[in-house]
């Protein structure tokens, strides 16, 4: 299969109107995600609720290959039942265990529908993992978290990228979040 | 994660052998810092981003 490397063919930039004006229109094939990137991401940024980045091709015409939005978050162990909390805490050095651990939320991810099937989503996740372990990172951040759409394709994607379920079952998660539309998943940046 | 000898009373008067054993035991905690290659990869991305203009 032909390959496409984000690192080789693209540049990553904060997503703004200048990018939209200088790039071909973007669609990942999901209406909600497209709408978010087209109309809402700027507002999120202005309100300091999320920052969106894009990978665009270096060659012209510039094509937006992928977009993703990040926000600060945390994993609060008070929202976990005792056995899940104990299981989760095994990730953490005994002397540093607490009620809350810093995390970065991957709020949205979209890959250009014309470039799906090139492993770009996983390349993106791999980049984010490394980016948050990079020495220039400004804050302590132990986990990546994602509230993944509860469908087999999306869950499989995050499982393949070594994310784990915060709650063992949908039922357990529903007790805390009152919905089974999404599943909270995390990746330990120490692993 | 570094072991702080000053702040750790259990390490007072520790022998070099015992200290090495503790470091060995804690190695897994440091396992996922970036390798030099990975660090360069991220540096390149950030550099390309900084130098890019339309």
Per-residue confidence of chain A (191 residues) as pLDDT tens digits? Answer: 578 999 999 999 999 999 999 999 999 999 999 999 999 999 999 999 999 999 999 999 999 999 999 999 999 998 888 888 988 898 888 888 888 999 999 999 999 999 999 999 999 999 999 999 998 888 999 999 999 999 999 999 999 999 999 999 999 999 888 888 999 999 999 88
User: pLDDT tens-digit profile of B36-45?
Assistant: 999 999 999 9
Which residues, 6+ apart, have CB-to-CB distance to A147 below 8 Å? A105, A182, A183, A184, A185
Cβ distance A162 to A187 under 8 Å?
yes
Which positions in chain B have a beta carbon within 8 angstroms of at least one beta carbon in chain A? Answer: 1, 29, 31-34, 38-39, 41-42, 44-46, 48-49, 52, 54
Q: Kindly provide the b/e burial profile for residues B9-35, where b requires at least 16 CB atoms within 10 angstroms of the residue's own CB.
A: eeeeeeeeeeeeeeeeeeeeeeeeebe
| CB nearest A7 (choices: B33, B45, B52) | B45
CA A134, A137, A143, A147 dihedral sign is negative
ipTM of the complex: 0.81
User: pLDDT tens-digit profile of A14-36?
Assistant: 999 999 999 999 999 999 999 99
**Above 90 in pLDDT, residue B7?**
no
Give domain A6-188's CATH superfamily.
Gcn5-related N-acetyltransferase (GNAT) (3.40.630.30)
The residues facing A101 across adjacent strands are A75
Q: Do B1 and A191 touch (CB under 8 A)?
A: no
Q: Do A191 and B32 touch (CB under 8 A)?
A: yes
In B, which residues are within 8 Å of A137 by CB distance? none
């Amino acid at each position: 299969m032909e390959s496409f490397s984000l690192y080789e063919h693209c540049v990553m930039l904060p997503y703004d109107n200048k990018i939209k004006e200088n790039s071909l229109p973007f669609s990942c094939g999901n209406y909600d995600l497209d709408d978010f990137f087209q109309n809402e991401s700027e507002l999120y940024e202005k309100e300091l609720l999320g920052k969106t980045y894009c990978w665009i091709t270096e060659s012209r015409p510039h094509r937006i290959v992928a977009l993703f939005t990040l926000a600060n978050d945390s994993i609060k162990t008070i929202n976990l039942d005792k056995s899940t909390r104990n299981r989760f805490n095994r990730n953490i050095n005994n002397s540093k265990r607490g009620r809350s651990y810093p995390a970065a939320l991957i709020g949205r991810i979209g890959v250009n529908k014309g470039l799906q099937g090139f492993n770009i989503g996983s390349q993106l996740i791999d980049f984010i993992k490394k980016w948050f372990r990079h020495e220039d990172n400004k804050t302590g951040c132990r986990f990546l978290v994602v509230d993944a759409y509860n469908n087999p394709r999306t869950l499989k994607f995050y499982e393949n990228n070594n994310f784990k379920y915060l709650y063992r079952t949908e039922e357990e998660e529903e007790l805390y979040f009152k919905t089974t539309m999404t599943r909270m998943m995390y990746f330990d940046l120490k692993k | 994660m570094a072991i702080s000898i000053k702040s750790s009373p259990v390490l007072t008067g520790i022998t070099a052998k015992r200290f090495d054993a503790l470091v060995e035991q804690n190695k897994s905690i440091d396992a996922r810092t970036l390798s030099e290659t990975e660090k360069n990869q991220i540096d390149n991305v950030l550099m390309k981003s900084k130098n890019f203009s339309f």
